[in-house]
Structures are given as structure tokens and as C-alpha cells.
Chains A and B, each alone.
Chain A
């Protein structure tokens, strides 16, 4: 459905996107993950024909973005980072305007407007001025605008930013219901977002492709080493922190123990395992066998920050130290 080959986009002085290639199959939901300024928005803008690529070939729904922009635009729904809304319009009026702009015939327009208002749950504000809507409603009107012409490809730039948790769940459900006959690319910098709604992830950093893989593979690979939060109860200064720390360090498979906090008779630690080792059971046993009371033992999820440190950070280090290894890593990413 979407085929990007060697896409490069250069602004006057900066290289925003550097030789990115990827493909997206029909009906997939793909997450576009990256820190701010990584080139997510630029890539999306090229896909939507808002910006022309500096070099490279971009094919959407069978049409080239440079040769057949009108055909591509007909088949694309786009929600930019800030929803493109006219504050002086009412919701119905706005959606009707966009619908006509996207080429929906006059006969179908009312039906389509009602349908997307139902899907995005904005029927209760249909006659309100967009300027008076809350951020959550605006975001949903923006989404309604993107799907009004039932496009083959949906491109959403941070669709859940500014929404409350309940609305985020609703949007996720909506996206899932849209997948299948729509191909969806959504950008985000929140990992859980991708885990919940996407099948595949494309990670970019500083304009370059860092990883492209299925969500399951990626999280498995990244969670090769385990990180555990552990809390031990201490009464009257017993056990003392160094004693606990030493005991934890002796557990097989532990690579590092960090003392986090000790107050109100609670000692909390963060324990990291060696690559591929499961240490939670051994940790618990070790604490209990020593006669201490274990208050908490919890696996820590990897945050996006940690993933970037692993994926992008290590790459940067390699860049400085040895070139060949970095290339090997990159090849590994592409496979």
C-alpha cells in the first residue's frame, strides 16, 4: 500500500530525513516512533504530498507522490499534529466543507458526516463552534475530518496527544475498527501507544531508520535483560541497607543493584539482570530465606527513553568507537 524507497528530505541547511526505506502492507497499523525532531512529521508530510521529497521514490496506493499527487490525495486521510480546524465554523459545517473538499458528492455528504460523527463520538457537539470545543473534542473532530472520505490510507500525526485516558482508549478502539480496510500509519513518542494499537513499528531517530519490526519482536529483543523493583521492610535499622544490597548482588544472574530509597523502614532497590536471565523468583527466595519481609517485587517495563538509549544511544557510541559494528547493527535492524 505504501512503498518508500530511499526517501531523503533536506531543508535549507538541515537534513530532516536521511535515506529511509520501508513498506506497509494493506490493512496494517504501523506505529512511527521517534523522539521530537526525528523526522516523523516530515516523512508523513511527504507521504501526504504536502512536501515533495528531495530524493527517493514514494508510492502511496499505487501512485507516485510527485507524478500523481491528486490521485494520492484522494486516497489519503491526514490528521496533522495540530488538527487543521477553522474555529469560526460549526462542527457539521466544517465536516461538510472538508467532505466536499475531498470530493464527496452532494448526495452522500450528509450521510457521511453523520457516520463519522457517530464513529468519533462528536454527535453531541455537532452545532457548536469549533473554537469553543475542548482539546479532546478538537482532536476527535480532526480525526473525523481525516476519515470522512473513507480513504485507503490514514496518516495520523500523534492522534492521542492532549486526550484523557478514557478518550485515548476510545481512539485506540476506533483505530482498531478502522484497520483491515484502511492502512494506518500513526506517529507517537509514547511506547504503550504503539504496543496497544500497532502491529509493526518503525523507529526513527535523527532522520534515520533505527529499527523496523513487529511489536512483539521488538519488545522481546529489548527486554532481553530484566529490570526489577524490589522493596524490603526494615524495622529498627535491621536489616541494614548494605547487608541487603550485598545479598541481592549474590543472586545468580544479577548484574547490578541500585539502592533507590530508604524511608519509613522501607528499603527500595532496583535490580537489573544479565542478558536473557529471569531473576525474580531467585530474588524473592533470597530475601525470604534471609528472614526479611518482602514488601514488593515488580518488573519494570522499559520506557521509550530506555529503548532509545538502547537503540539510538548505542548506535551513537558505536559511531564514535568503531564503524564496522554499527553497520552490522543496521543490517540486523533491517532484517
Chain B
């Protein structure tokens, strides 16, 4: 555990010593802020019109602003993840520092978990930018807190899966561009799986749509916490980290 935190701290330090962390946070804040501005402006406009027309039913901040924005954030994550994970192993392999890690008295799994945790924390920092916008809603409005928390849990779990997949892909190459590119395509593919079977039914369709990252996120986005989805994400994280370990082992045998 001590070693996991050691590696994790080292990863975070690398992210924040280079412009990458600040760049990701700034761009995410900008793009999410723009989305928030648009959604909030339209919400104010429509609710004003509605009250002018004498409709007494107030519109829901959760439904009209938070839910689409959370869905938007989950899509942006597909773009963020490759940029976070591409360097994890590829860089260490290229510069040769992997030799330091692999000849030190720590387990492979500690390296993998430490790196994943570091990537997770950066992802949380980036995601945290969106909380600033939502905080404004709570300052001047009265949205429900619980669905927001559930949505964030969903974003974190989904990010965890994608980061673990990205980490695995990063172990397979020493070229960061390739690691990032392949991760991006895999993320898109996992996302597209839900389209593929949108109007199908039957065994294949349900298996494919079960594997889609997005399908499981839908419930979280609505503010519904379903054990089934949590289990899906956790087992995907476990599986991806497991094959990362296998890949690292094969790295020794092939090299």
C-alpha cells in the first residue's frame, strides 16, 4: 500500500510538473462552462416564458440543466482519458525508467495500481472543474443534491474503467501517440456499442449493449443508483487492471 501511494504521488507530480494537467483542467473548465452557460441561459429563458404564460408547474433544474450536462461530461471524458493515460507506461518504456521500477523490490500490481490511482486523481481534478458550475446552481437555486452525487459517482466509475483500459494500452507500446490514439478509438468503440444495438433485441444485442459503457451510465445520469451498473464498472476496472498486469509480465518475457 505504501508503494502504491509512492507511485501514485510520483505520477501526480509528473502530471502537475508538466503543462498537461493544467491544460486539461483549463480546457475542460472552458468547454464545460460554455455548455453550462448555454443550458442555464435557455433554462432561464424558458422558465420565464412559462411563468409569463401562467404555467404554475416550475421546471426542474435537475432535469433541464444538470442531467444533460452530466451526459456531456461523460462524453468529454472519452477525449480526456487518452490524454491522461497515454504516457503512463509508454513514457517510462521510452526513457528507460521502467528498468528502475521493474528492478526495485515492489510488485507489478503496486506499480499498476499506483499509476491508475494517479491517473484517477488527475481525472477527478479535471472533473472537479464542473463542480464549480453546479455550485452556482445550489447557491441560487434548490436542485436535488442526491442525483448530482449519483451522477458524479457514475462519472468516476466510468472514468475508472476507461483509465484502466488506457493504462493497459499504454503498456503495449513505447510510443505515446500510438497509446493515446488507440485508447481514443477503443473509448469511442465502447461508446458506440450502444448505438449498434439501439433498435435490436435478442441475445447478441443484449450482450453487446451490456458491454457498452454508455448504457450503464444512463441510470447514473438520471440519478438512479443501480447495483448492477456499479458491479459492471467495478468488474470492468478489475478486468482491465488484470490484463495490464498480464501485459507487464509479458513485457519481461518478450522485451
Contacts and interface: CB of A to CB of B under 8 A. Distances in A.
Given A73-B103, A86-B14, A97 B96 contact: no
Interface stretch (A77-85, A191-199, A279-287, A323-331): A77-85
Nearest to B10: A97
Interface in A164-204: none
Interface in B107-135: 107
A50 B102 contact: yes
A103 B3 CA distance: 9
A216 interface: no
Interface residues of B, number: 25
Contact of A73 (B2, B18, B96, B104): B104
Contact of B104 (A45, A93, A102): A102
Interface string B9-32: 010011001100000000000000
Nearest to A81: B96
A88 B103 contact: no
A52 B105 contact: no
Given A73-B103, A88-B14, A51 B255 contact: yes
A278 interface: no
B252 interface: yes
A45 B99 CA distance: 9
Contacts of A45: 99
A98 B103 contact: no
B105 A51 contact: no
A82 B103 contact: no
B100 interface: yes
Given A86-B14, A97-B6, A73 B105 contact: yes
Nearest to A98: B100
A90 B26 CA distance: 26
Nearest to A78: B103
Nearest to B9: A97
A89 B103 contact: no
A26 interface: no
Contact of A88 (B17, B101, B107, B253): B17
B55 interface: no
A105 to B, nearest CB: 10
B103 A145 contact: no
B235 interface: no
B106 interface: yes
Which of A49, A85, A100 counts the most B-chain CB atoms under 10 A from its CB? A100
A79 B126 CA distance: 37
B104 A89 contact: no
A101 B13 contact: no
B3 A84 contact: no
Contacts of A76: 103
A304 B3 CA distance: 44
Chain B contact residues: over half helix, strand or loop, or mixed?
A: helix
Given A88-B14, A97-B10, A52 B253 contact: yes
Contacts of A84: 95-100
B71 to A, nearest CB: 35
Nearest to A76: B103
A218 B117 CA distance: 54
B105 A102 contact: yes
A280 B159 CA distance: 78
A50 B252 contact: yes
A235 interface: no
Contacts of B252: 50-52
Contacts of A80: 96, 99-100
Contact of B105 (A50, A70, A82, A85): A70
Contacts of A81: 96
Contact of A103 (B14, B103, B105): B105
A312 interface: no
Interface string A34-45: 000000000001
B253 A50 contact: no
B13 A48 contact: no
Contacts of A11: 255
A126 interface: no
B20 to A, nearest CB: 11
Contacts of B2: 100
Nearest to B101: A101
B103 A50 contact: yes
Given A82-B96, A88-B17, A101-B104, 20 more contacts: A70-B105, A71-B105, A73-B103, A73-B104, A78-B99, A78-B100, A80-B96, A80-B100, A84-B95, A84-B96, A86-B97, A87-B95, A89-B17, A97-B6, A101-B3, A101-B6, A101-B101, A101-B105, A101-B106, A103-B105
25 contacts: A12-B254, A48-B99, A48-B103, A49-B102, A49-B103, A50-B103, A51-B252, A70-B105, A73-B103, A76-B103, A80-B96, A82-B95, A82-B96, A84-B98, A84-B99, A86-B97, A88-B18, A93-B13, A97-B6, A98-B104, A100-B6, A101-B104, A101-B105, A103-B105, A145-B100
Interface of A: 11-12, 45, 48-52, 70-71, 73-74, 76, 78, 80-89, 93, 97-98, 100-103, 145
A-B CB proximity, top 8 nearest: A84-B100, A88-B17, A73-B105, A84-B97, A48-B103, A74-B105, A82-B96, A101-B104
